Structure 1
């Protein structure tokens, strides 16, 4: 080839290179956009500006929005360059990392602007709920759950807490980001914070005496927690029902809708009542249960200081240890049993404190008094019969009317004399009430007098 031809060829090549587009290799980590030229099950070939060809394959083809399922040949796609010098000469791309980048931007914007975002936990441990979005790990601590989702259990039982938390996996949560750690790919989120403003507004409007509807958010030994209007309050065990409550779980289950009354607000501590929305049975009890009345019931609870007697569905009375028997009691369980039917006398009624005092020994003492009186009468009759036979009729009449014939104490006789009653015949027209109205004469003495005249 002549020198002229060689020179011409070189000039032509230089001209072609001069007019051809500059060939550039995408930088690692850069976000590029290309057109899909081939799609297989887990692999995409992408044309990059007609110069390079990219490949997206394996785990890098899968992102949180499942882009692979939605796109096809001819569609535009964005991906991150993860290798620009592969042996095959292809640019290795990642849909997953591109989606992760978008997700980081969404999380960062939400964190900086206090925006509420929705997340779905995919795992739980005893400390809270875990989630992962495009390789970014998130955590919602137990303490940051809203009232309705907070796992209230007796004794902070870790196993029960975990069981409650596991039921929340897969549920959509509205949250705010509390902290963001891009270097380690971690987020801390809060469900409580997402509703903070609503909670504050609701608390400002809340008033004592207000009736509200809510859902049971927790049941523990000492009461029932109810969540309402982004708030939560406690129905103490003493405010669940008018009668004795031994097990709060008998009055509802988690998630049940209930109507409650607000009875106290102390900063953010809210006290609630269920029983005050029902009629007070003690108002009717004032008419039914009066001092001196004999009642029957079933022992439903035994304590160290006495036994409780169920008088009706709402009212219990207390038989104190000292009112069971006159004998010393070393073990109440040897005297009374739960389920045992008992007859007792009402000895005290305190409507303000919702208490009724009962006594078993008061009934037994009354029966013993009657027996003693009968025996005394019999002995007196036997002693007087021989003396009467030797007396005249007039003497008998005078003797029969003598106060000394009554088996009563000298003190009682003196009291009667001072009141103007000197003969037995003076007392015959007096009722039991008349006798007890005489100052110094008690019910027991009055009954004893009446039985003898």
Structure 2
């Protein structure tokens, strides 16, 4: 109770000497009415509702110096803001002057001078984050200043709260499309935005994590909503190529709208590099094939006649054709038959023998003779095989070498095949011939024995 009485006496004394900050009711109190009962003041909740540490209180600026600001807290006591507590993240109290009404946070009820210690930093921090929450909740567009950049995006500030603007959340105007995706060049482009002001929306926030993420693209989409709504799928647009990437081409058309022509929608034939058929600055026509919010997808091949519609007039299954190897993949060869029609020779159709390394059989740019296995106009597929054909050039070279090294040999005429009955007769003849041969051999042997007998007897007599 003693502290409350102290604040009431201070309050009353201060009020009667500073009538400019008194309420209308309080002004009715005369300066000469010194008989005002203190007990009556104590019974008034306006004078006995003493703030606690952490409370946010309103007050009137009494004086301002470089080092501190004195605040009258509802005529109850004098508060002081000094040092780092003068920093206000909400940026609302950047310039204070006597008579201004401000909100502060109580950080100490009484300091060494008997003053209430107050903070703009704490109350400003709370107000700043509450304001950001409100911006995100209402999806409002707000200006933000770019303070720095890294490879992932831009560092920004809203008021005194630092945040981040990712590269993926930049508008088409500021998105750094660098050929080849050189990270150092992208960073240089991003750093060019330092000091500039972008319009953004708050898309993610966390006071506890001190996280603030904003999107320029979201703000741009809202502004372009009415413009985008004028276009529908099937519309044909004409625009300027603003960037060429490995996956497609970006085209600016209409009122600063931008669409993407994917590499698969540039032409009917297979394309490995969009830069082979289009370059930055070219004017191109395309058809809108899909729309997802502000994302617009285009197709230039839709405006051209599909060469696969009449493919059966040019090619037939079983036809032998010459094709140029465009690409070698682990699963087969991509082959160009003509400017518009490409086919695939699967690895299983390369050779009769198992193939493990296609590069040992073909190289990019080689022209080989293929046979058409299948044609699927609807799916834009054409199957080829090398199994029943040979490399024409290779075949000529091999045949020339064989003519020089090898000489032709006469081949015996094949004997006519015998019937079963004829085979039996032949076997009988062979058997009889064999038996006759055996008899003659026996007779010859007997004759030889008889002829040699007298000679043997003569030899015996000579020995005796």
Normalised-by-shorter TM-score class: 0.3 to 0.5
Normalising by structure 2, we get a TM-score of 0.45
**TM-score normalised to structure 1 length:** 0.46
Structure number with bigger Rg: 2
